[in-house]
Amino acid sequence: MKIIVVGCGRLGSELAYRLFQRGHRVTVIDHAARAFDNLPPDFRGRTLEGEVLSQDVLDRAGIAGADGLAAVTNSDSVNAVVARIAGVKHGLGNVVVRNYEPQWAKIHQSFAAQVVSYAVWGAHQVVDLLHEIEVRPVFSAGNGEVRVYELQIPKSWHGRTVDALLSGTDNLPVALTRAGQTILPRSETPLETADVLDVSARPEGIQILRQRLGLAQEED
């Protein structure tokens, strides 16, 4: 694939190098030539110094024939404009935007670009590490809007079903591990003490499950 990376800071240089290692043809754009010093010595992609919002620079980078573009500067406004140019003017559907300031996230999303927000994702991760004990996140999709959580079933839920735990929510069962064996659970699957149930959920959905498990433990 031919991919353009706009911005060669710590993120852009790492991204460009990883793409290069996977065999992609990578062009990196930055307004400052010294930024290319961030690239490892064995990087063999193309570097292009110039104003990243310049149509001429984007043309020279080959945007017309690109398969994807990542706008990863530390300026949300620059990333938004570059993504808009790539998507609207050049019809590039595979566009990823770095979200630097959390308040810009919805603006980026309104442009139909794929958004990576490290501030939002990082905050989710730290909250979970500090707050989750019986409910542990094991996989995160997007910026943490949807995750797979690992729940340990307490004694007070022994004999109840998966459906009883998840009813009234949009949470979905992913896997159930019992005595070292993992199955795909059904709604009618009975739960046993010490089962580990993996559930896909949004933050509000997992909060409901946490409360249900907590109330069950208090009743025990």
Which CATH number fits the domain that encloses residue 104?
Answer: 3.40.50.720
d(CA 31, CA 18): 21
What is the residue range of 89's domain? Answer: 2-117
- Residue 37 falls inside a structural domain: yes
Whether the pLDDT of residue 87 is over 90: the answer is no
pLDDT digits (tens, 9 = 90+) for 45-68: 999 999 999 999 999 999 999 999
Reduced 3-state DSSP string for 36-74: HHHCCCCCCCEEEECCCCCHHHHHHHCHHHCCEEEECCC
pLDDT for the residue 198: 92
Helix (H) or strand (E) holding 29: strand 25-30
| Strands, sheet with 181-183, edge to edge from the N-terminal-most edge strand | 135-141, 146-152, 196-201, 172-178, 181-183
43 and 109 fall within a common domain: yes
pLDDT at 175 over 60: yes
For residue 162, the domain's CATH number is 3.30.70.1450
In a domain, 82, yes or no: yes
pLDDT given at position 98: 86
> For residue 169, what pLDDT is reported?
94
H helices of 8-161, where? Answer: 10-21, 55-61, 76-84, 105-110, 118-131
Residue 102 and residue 158 in one domain: no
Residue 126 lies in a domain: no
Q: Say yes or no: 107 and 137 in one domain.
A: no
The number of distinct structural domains making up the chain is 2
DSSP bridge partners of 176 = 183, 197
Q: Is the pLDDT of residue 184 over 70?
A: yes
